[in-house]
Each structure stands twice: as structure tokens, then as C-alpha cells.
Amino acid sequence: MIEAIVLEQLAFRYRPNDAPIFEALHHSFPRGAVTAIVGASGAGKSTLLYVLGLMLTPTHGSIRWGEWSVTGRSDRERSRLRAAHIGFVFQDSLLDLGRSALGNVMEAALLSGLDRRIAEKRATRLLQRFDVAHRANHRPGELSGGQAQRIAMCRALVKEPEILLADEPTGNLDTDSGDVVWNAFRAAADQGRFVIVATHDTSRLHLADEVVRVPM
Ligand SMILES: Nc1ncnc2c1ncn2[C@@H]1O[C@H](COP(=O)(O)OP(=O)(O)OP(=O)(O)O)[C@@H](O)[C@H]1O
Ligand SMILES: [Mg+2]
């Protein structure tokens, strides 16, 4: 069992001549904790989540899952690790516009290798939990911003990922829906998952087990 996600000497820049977004970063994210990532707009919160989510490759340094280095793996293997172990809530939801809400959640479940019957059961339950079951058959273009954001949460949670990464997941939500989302983070962490959330919502930082400020 992986005890921590460890960053060592981690650096990232988008282009060779650009200034680094971060460098010489060291941090250990503990299992079973909610970590909030905070910092000014443009500070690099989303970038750090993309690197943690194996969508961007660090320019330097390493990411370890326990003793096991995930940097330097092939694109194919990183895609496989992502589908199997990482749930990601994107800052702008990033739903598939051609699929219904239910279809979006089901797709993530099926890609992670779940059987269709289990995928549908879990997806339906999550849509109920996030109070969007009545929009199950609607496409993203027919949803409000907050509904899309809640469906993005369902999409990330449906495969019950070891690692849950969420980028401003409550930006479009009212207090009640925001509470449901943060309760879901707490529950996921209490089940022993890694939960890392970039947020501007300072009113909820007391719900995180640790707060990390970027630039670190
Ligand atoms: N694809 C890209 N290519 C080059 N630079 C980029 C790219 N994406 C983001 N950046 C730059 O990297 C920096 C960090 O961006 P990032 O999106 O990580 O910030 P953030 O902390 O998430 O900001 P916000 O709070 O506004 O979401 C910014 O200066 C941004 O303009
Ligand atoms: Mg961002």
C-alpha cells in the first residue's frame, strides 16, 4: 500500500525559455488526508495538479507513489495509471459535449475497466448524491455551470480512485452544493484515498488536513 505521494526536486516549465512555474519542489502528500492547494491566480495550482495527475511531465525531478517512481514512464503507461488510479475534476468541468450527464460518468467508469452493470449503478447513485439525477439524460450544453461541476465530481469519483485531484471544484456552487462536494472529499480521505484540491475558497480551508501554498 502506498503511504505517500512524494515530490522530489520537482520542476516544471511550459516551454524551454519560459520561467519555471515551480522548481526544486519537495513535498509529501499523505494517504487519507485532504490537502488544499492555495495561491494567487496564475501561481501554478492547476499546473501542479496536471503534473500530479500525470498529464504533464515534470521538466526535472521525480514523483513517487510510495517507493515507486511514476516519472519517466511511457505515455501509454501513464494513461493506464491515470485511468485506473486517478480521478480528476477539471477547473472548467471538461465534460464530453456529445454525451449525456449519465453517459459522461459511465464513460469514466468503463474506461477504468468497470463492468457496465456496476458502472451504471455507481453512476446513478452518484448523480443522486450530488442532486443532479434529474439531469441524467441531458447533455453538458443543457446544464448550468454548477450542475456541470457536480457531474464532473461524479465522473472523477465513479471509479473510486486512489488519488482524487480537484481543480476549483466549488467555483460555480452555492453553499449547500459546496458542502456536498467537501463532504465527498472528507469521505474519500477517510476511506484512505489521497485527496488534493486546488481552491480559492478560503472559507473551507479548515476542512482540509493540510494547506499548501504555491509557489511552495
Ligand atoms: N499551456 C500553457 N502554456 C504556457 N503557459 C501556461 C499554460 N497553461 C498555463 N500557463 C501559465 O502558467 C502559469 C500558471 O497557471 P495555472 O493555470 O497553473 O495557475 P493557477 O494557479 O491554476 O491559476 P487560477 O487560480 O487562475 O486557476 C500562468 O502564468 C499561466 O498563464
Ligand atoms: Mg487554475
CB 140 within 8 A of CB 95: yes
Task: Give dist(CA 9, CA 113) in Å, integer.
Answer: 34
**pLDDT score recorded for residue 59:** 96
Nearest CA to ligand 1 atom 24: 41
Q: Which domains does the chain have, with CATH numbers?
A: 4-213 (3.40.50.300)
**pLDDT score recorded for residue 53:** 98
**pLDDT score recorded for residue 1:** 83
Atom of ligand 1 lying closest to residue 91 CA = 27
Task: Give dist(CA 160, CA 44) in Å, integer.
Answer: 27
Give 184-208 pLDDT, tens digit per residue.
Answer: 999 999 999 999 999 999 999 999 9
Q: What pTM, to 2 d.p., does this model score?
A: 0.97
Q: What is the average pLDDT across 162-188?
A: 96
SS (H, E, C) the chain: CCCEEEEEEEEECCCCCCCCCEEEEEEEEECCCEEEEECCCCCCHHHHHHHHCCCCCCCEEEEEECCEECCCCCHHHHHHHHHHHEEEECCCCCCCCCCCHHHHHHHHHHHCCCCHHHHHHHHHHHHHHCCCHHHCCCCHHHCCHHHHHHHHHHHHHCCCCCEEEEECCCCCCCHHHHHHHHHHHHHHHHCCCEEEEECCCHHHHHHCCEEEECCC
Ligand 2 centroid vs 69 CA: distance in angstroms?
26
Q: Is 42 in the pocket of ligand 1 (CB under 6 A)?
A: yes
Ligand nearest 45 Cα, by number? 1
